[in-house]
Amino acid sequence: MAVKEENQPQIELWQKVLASAKTLRFEVIVVFLAFVLVLVGVYLLKSPGKDEGITIIGDQAVSETGDITVDIAGAVEKPGVYTLKDGTRMAEAIEKAGGFTSFADTEWISKTANMAVKLSDAAKIYIPQKGEKMTNVLGSDTQSGVININSATESELDKLSGVGPVTAQKIIDGRPYSNLSDLVAKKILTQKAFDKIKDQISVF
């Protein structure tokens, strides 16, 4: 009996050690599970979501909705830069800009402007006021000898002075153009070649 009483403290000590070990093991498991949950949460937060209508390519965001941006100026109620749906026609763009002002040369527009033409990205639309002299034809590719370099075919471009099939294809590949001078800036034409055709072309 005396031996048992002498061993009793050691037995109680081991019982305490085992109980502590069980508690410590439980705490380690809880901490480990918490750590796993944190890692899962961080992964989910960093995972890229799906952006509607936008595809990220490098550092640029490209719209998949097919929007175009056009500059509308001159005799309209609300001139400015507008973002429109691809396929928007001239008449719809003018309406977006508030329509013509009372100073617009509506007679010239009705005779020469093609209000049904579809606009291209970076197009420039200028509505003349009464008394202004206009050489370009709004929304026309070939009327009055003026060719729209943003929409003309290779055969139409080939008709320009000094422009053959190779240069015509370069003009097509360099689209869109916001100004005629872009032909020189993009090194598609030399200044000398540009000067020969600048009165025969338009960007809208």
pLDDT of res. 62: 35
- Within 8 A by CB and 6+ apart from 33, the residues are none
pLDDT of res. 15: 62
Taking only Cα atoms into account, the Rg of the chain, rounded to an integer number of angstroms, comes to: 36
| pLDDT tens per residue, range 81-122 | 999 998 898 899 999 999 999 999 888 788 777 788 888 777
pLDDT of res. 10: 59
pLDDT of res. 115: 84
pLDDT of res. 140: 46
Percent of the chain as helix, strand, coil, to the nearest 5: 40, 20, 40
* Contact present, 56 and 87 (Cβ < 8 Å): no
| Structure-token pair, residue 60 | 């640029």
Domain boundaries, the chain: 1-50, 64-126, 140-204
Looking at residue 129, what DSSP letter applies? B
pLDDT of res. 92: 93
pLDDT of res. 35: 74
Buried b (16+ CB within 10 A) or exposed e, 11-46: eeeeeeeeeeeeeeeeeeeeeeeeeeeeeeeeeeee
Architecture of domain 140-204: Orthogonal Bundle (1.10)
* DSSP states along 3-61: HHHHHHHHHHHHHHHHHHHHHHHHHHHHHHHHHHHHHHHHHHHHS--PPTTEEEETTEE
**Below-50 pLDDT ranges, the chain:** 1-4, 48-63, 137, 140-144
| Rounded-to-integer distance, Cα 39 and Cα 34, Å | 9
pLDDT of res. 53: 32
pTM of the model: 0.42
